[in-house]
């Protein structure tokens, strides 16, 4: 796991520009190898009978209705906890740097995510440009804060989802989606009639408003959620303006767990079709209070909640302006977090450094 990290992935996944704007012939060229009958046969054997919730939501009209309500909220945008109330529909960019037009950095099969999402043919990952978290150590800062990406429309996003499914990907993995939720729901609504049927993975920083998450109830199959900080001062320091992160993230975790429950892989395929998967990136010096994160999860969510304790922190972007986080973590720091998690009673841990 994480042999191919996100930075490596973003540098090598040059699929998207060729996928969409260049037109259908090139789309077929990019994915031609994955449409070989042998691949399709193998792919079909790994597909479950699981039907994603968004399919039913499309048929009831709820998917489109929710997407349109959220789209209109961009007029005084309050889609994320920053509540900056920017009129994105008039072309202005909010605190997250997003306006109303969809901007995407890359889309491709990704093999660096958790094994239950990657399977044999990869997780169909779509990286959205811009982000409201503004982390000073962001490893994907070119995309999240420097605006790397291109504009696409909702129909093109739907086509990307369908192409990832045709390629054999086991899910649609939307990365940093919060500021583009309206577009995502409307794209799903257009993709369902054309056959989209793979699970939707909502890959989030964890800084999500509960009332917005409620719009995703019945639509998202898997929440893949960071739990970054349990300390408000650290949240404000390393994600400027996100002092409320611990409180917001705790409420978000409860809501996500309410919607999809504990994540357990399918016994036959080993793939994840539903549930909450939490990620926690251990940082140097316990500045983010990983111990509190683990105890909070153990005390407020089921003990078998899926928790991936990640060790790959690398000082990037502005991290060198903060001496205390300008280094990688030690083995001892990582093991201390694992010990706390185990002592707190968590039983469904995914570990990296040993």
301 Cα distance to chain centroid: 20
Buried/exposed code over 200-221 (b: 16+ C-beta within 10 A; e: otherwise): bbbbbbbbbbeebbebbebbbb
Q: Which of these ranges, 94-102, 158-166, 207-215, 240-248, lies near ligand SF4 under the rule CB under 6 A?
A: 94-102
Element (H, E) at 175: strand 172-175
**In the sheet where 349-350 sits, what is the strand order?**
150-152, 102-110, 123-128, 172-175, 200-204, 222-226, 275-281, 306-310, 349-350
Residue from 13, 57, 80, 249 binding ligand SF4 (CB under 6 A): 80
Q: Residue 107: name the closest of 40, 177, 41 by CA.
A: 177
Least distance to ligand SF4, CB of residue 80, Å? 3
Residue from 88, 190, 209, 289 binding ligand SF4 (CB under 6 A): 88
CB burial of residue 180 (10 Å; 0-12, 13-18, 19+): buried
Residue from 68, 78, 217, 304 binding ligand SF4 (CB under 6 A): 78
179 binds ligand SF4 (CB under 6 A): yes
Residue from 27, 84, 224, 253 binding ligand SF4 (CB under 6 A): 84
79 binds ligand SF4 (CB under 6 A): yes
82 binds ligand SF4 (CB under 6 A): yes
Q: Which is nearer to ligand SF4, 67 or 119 (CB)?
A: 67
Q: Which is nearer to ligand SF4, 110 or 183 (CB)?
A: 183
Q: Which is nearer to ligand SF4, 103 or 159 (CB)?
A: 103
Tokens read off for 307: 């928790």
Q: Which is nearer to ligand SF4, 84 or 340 (CB)?
A: 84
96 binds ligand SF4 (CB under 6 A): yes
Least distance to ligand SF4, CB of residue 240, Å? 12
Residue from 13, 30, 43, 77 binding ligand SF4 (CB under 6 A): 77
* Rounded Cα gap, residues 103 and 152, in angstroms: 6
243 binds ligand SF4 (CB under 6 A): no
Q: Which is nearer to ligand SF4, 152 or 207 (CB)?
A: 207
* Rounded Cα gap, residues 68 and 182, in angstroms: 7
- Would you say 340 and 297 are in contact if contact means Cβ atoms under 8 Å apart? no
221 binds ligand SF4 (CB under 6 A): no
SS3 content of the chain, % helix, strand, coil (to 5): 45, 15, 40
291 binds ligand SF4 (CB under 6 A): no
* Rounded Cα gap, residues 219 and 165, in angstroms: 17
* Rounded Cα gap, residues 269 and 115, in angstroms: 11
189 Cα distance to chain centroid: 19
Q: Which is nearer to ligand SF4, 13 or 133 (CB)?
A: 133
Applying the rule CB under 6 A, the residues between 127 and 146 that interact with ligand SF4 are 132
234 binds ligand SF4 (CB under 6 A): no
Catalog residues that contact ligand SF4 under the rule CB under 6 A: 77-80, 82-84, 86, 88, 94-96, 98, 132, 179
């Amino acid at each position: 796991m994480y042999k191919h990290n996100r930075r490596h992935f973003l540098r090598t996944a040059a699929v998207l520009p060729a996928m969409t704007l260049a037109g259908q012939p090139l789309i077929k060229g990019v994915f031609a190898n994955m449409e070989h009958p042998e691949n399709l046969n193998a792919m079909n054997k790994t597909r479950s009978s699981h039907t994603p919730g968004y399919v039913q939501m499309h048929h009831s009209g709820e998917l489109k209705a929710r997407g349109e309500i959220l789209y209109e909220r961009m007029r005084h945008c309050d889609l994320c906890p920053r509540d900056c109330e920017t009129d994105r529909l008039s072309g202005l960019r909010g605190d997250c740097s997003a306006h109303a037009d969809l901007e995407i950095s890359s889309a491709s099969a990704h093999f660096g995510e958790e094994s239950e999402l990657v399977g044999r043919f990869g997780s169909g990952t779509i990286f959205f440009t811009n982000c409201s978290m503004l982390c000073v150590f962001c490893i994907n800062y070119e995309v999240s804060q420097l605006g790397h990406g291109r504009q696409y429309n909702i129909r093109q996003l739907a086509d990307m989802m369908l192409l990832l499914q045709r390629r054999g990907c086991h899910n649609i993995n939307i990365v940093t989606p919060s500021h583009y939720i309206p577009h995502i729901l409307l794209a799903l609504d257009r993709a369902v009639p054309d056959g989209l049927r793979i699970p939707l993975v909502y890959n989030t920083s964890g800084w999500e408003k509960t009332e917005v998450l409620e719009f995703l109830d019945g639509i998202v199959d898997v929440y893949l959620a960071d739990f970054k900080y349990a300390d408000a001062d650290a949240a404000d320091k390393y994600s400027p303006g996100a002092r409320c992160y611990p409180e917001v993230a705790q409420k978000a975790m409860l809501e996500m767990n309410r919607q999809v429950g504990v994540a357990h892989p399918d016994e036959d395929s080993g793939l994840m079709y539903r549930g909450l998967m939490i990620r926690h990136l251990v940082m140097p010096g316990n500045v983010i209070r990983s111990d509190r994160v683990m105890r909070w999860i153990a005390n407020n969510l089921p003990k078998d909640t899926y928790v991936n304790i990640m060790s790959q922190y690398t000082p990037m972007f502005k991290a060198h302006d903060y001496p205390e986080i300008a280094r990688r973590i030690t083995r001892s720091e990582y093991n201390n977090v694992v010990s706390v998690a185990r002592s707190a009673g968590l039983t469904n841990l995914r570990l990296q450094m040993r």
